[in-house]
A and B are shown apart, each in its own frame.
Chain A
Amino acid sequence: MSTARAAAILLAKELRLEFRTRELLSATIVFAMVIVVLFSFAFDPTAAESRRYGPGLLWISFLFAGSLMLNPSFAREQANDTLDALRMAPISPFAILSAKMLANFIFMSLVELVLVPVFSVLYNVSLAGVAGRLILVLVLGTIGLTVTGTVFSAISSHARMRELLLPLLLLPILTPLLIGAVEATASLLVDQPELDRTWVALLAGFDIVFLTASWLLCDYLIEE
């Protein structure tokens, strides 16, 4: 079976599993909203300050929500040792990893799809004119988040205290992604929005580096 076909079947399995209960998605969306609301209490921003701090708030909530949401990705395979069954299948380990990455990318995109309009309303930031460019930034940022996050989810699933360990491993690695995504988003929220290409290039570079590294190292990551 080709890697792409195996990955597609596994992706369908991941999606079916999640949409049966939708518990991961709903919990993550609510958690991200809690952060957005708490921020408003903590800083009480004016309209101008919202534009200044908004991009940072938005990405911090995505990173925190993502680092919690990615945890069950591998951990829930352990309940019935289902990862061992997947390993025994005659498919490449990259099919298993990429199916999980894609599934997490879809889940995270759905979270963002709900959260960005909510943020726009609550903080009075108009995003209508820049939707296309904002989606590009969101996609690039989310790829980086889910690629590294899925790999680290596989690492932390074997450890004790994995719920705490995953954010600890993931968030420092994501520093360049956070800076790039926040600056690129900020360039879209000013009066004359123009997408800052430097930051888009940085985000793309981050995605390429870690996607390549995951592809090279996935044999070691998904082994007995």
Chain B
Amino acid sequence: MKGRIASTVFAAALIFFAGYAALFIAPDERTMHAIQRIFYFHLPSWIAMFTALSVVFVANVAYLATRKAKWDALGVAGAEAGVVCCTIGLATGPLWARPVWGIWWTWDARLTTTFILWLLYISYLLLRGLLDDTEKKATLSAIFGIFAFLDVPLVYVSNRLWRTQHPQPVILGGNGSGLDPTMSKVLLLCVIAVMGVMIIILLDRYRLERLRHEFEELRQEVETRSIAPASILGKEST
């Protein structure tokens, strides 16, 4: 418990400092000026999202291989954290694109892929909500999660062939690319801060799911024990 509070306070302090650094320490960008600062949260949210969704895939495969409930809990925790990060990315993207590209949205490969990704993992969470049986829920949502993950490269390739507008990678994009050293440091800080927050959300959600599972097991045990005497006494038994 102490560790959890300490880590949450640390992550909150880190994200606060990252916000300060992005707004006041990072140098002004030559052409885009202030609006470019949204980049310090846009890119880290994508990195955090891909990390979270990779966790989902690993958890899905591990669940089918081992049938341990903890992997199912990790899967749903990762999917929720990933959807949150994806939503942040999808919200900050258009805010940045409007002043710079002149449009809110474009059907470019990366934009479309992440939008489909967002829909796929929301479907994953909806599917879980609509399955009642605990084991069925875990197995079937793991199968869907694996299919969704396999679909991501296909969506990307198909959109890439179709059309693309998003800028080429600036940071590792070969000659003429690269960031100002201060920008890189601020970016690294922001990546660490956003990842920290994502991991804390993920772990908390994981604990919550484990507790729910435990509660459900105990409730079922109480039910099976109490049915017999209740029916003998003629009290309400369901």
Contacts and interface: CB of A to CB of B under 8 A. Distances in A.
B147 interface: yes
A155 B162 contact: no
Contact of B140 (A158, A198, A209): A158
Contacts of B144: 152, 155, 169
A198 B140 CA distance: 33
B170 interface: no
Interface string A175-209: 11001100100000000000000110010011001
Given A179-B162, A213-B146, A158 B136 contact: yes
A202 B158 CA distance: 7
Interface stretch (B32-40, B46-54, B124-132, B192-200): B124-132
Interface in B140-158: 140, 142-144, 146-148, 150-151, 154-155, 157-158
A220 B64 contact: yes
Interface stretch (B81-89, B92-100, B115-123): B115-123
A223 B144 CA distance: 15
Contacts of A156: 127
Given A158-B140, A168-B126, A148 B147 contact: yes
B162 A183 contact: yes
A160 B140 CA distance: 13
Contact of B143 (A172, A175, A180, A220): A220
Contact of B150 (A165, A210, A220, A221): A210
B164 interface: no
Nearest to A214: B147
A211 B147 CA distance: 11
A30 to B, nearest CB: 28
A223 B67 CA distance: 13
B123 A168 contact: yes
Contacts of A159: 127, 130-131, 140
A220 B144 CA distance: 11
Interface residues of B, number: 30
B127 A220 contact: no
Contacts, number: 81
Nearest to B159: A179
Contacts of A180: 158
A210 B147 contact: yes
Contacts of B130: 159-162, 165
Nearest to A218: B143
A202 B132 CA distance: 37
A37 interface: no
Nearest to B162: A179
B8 interface: no
A4 interface: no
Contacts of A175: 112, 116, 151, 155, 158
Given A161-B130, A180-B158, A209 B136 contact: no
A88 B29 CA distance: 67
Contacts of B148: 173
A212 B69 CA distance: 26
Given A173-B148, A209-B154, A155 B143 contact: yes
Interface string A49-71: 00000000000000000000000
A124 B157 CA distance: 33
A176 B157 contact: yes
B21 to A, nearest CB: 37
Nearest to A203: B158
27 contacts: A148-B147, A152-B147, A155-B127, A159-B127, A159-B130, A161-B130, A165-B126, A169-B144, A172-B119, A172-B120, A175-B155, A176-B151, A176-B154, A176-B155, A176-B158, A179-B159, A179-B161, A179-B162, A198-B161, A202-B157, A205-B154, A206-B154, A210-B147, A213-B147, A217-B143, A221-B140, A223-B139
Given A148-B147, A175-B158, 11 more contacts: A158-B140, A159-B130, A168-B126, A172-B151, A173-B147, A175-B112, A202-B161, A206-B154, A213-B150, A217-B146, A223-B139
Complex A-B, nearest 3 residue pairs according to Cβ-Cβ distance, in ascending order: A176-B158, A159-B130, A176-B154
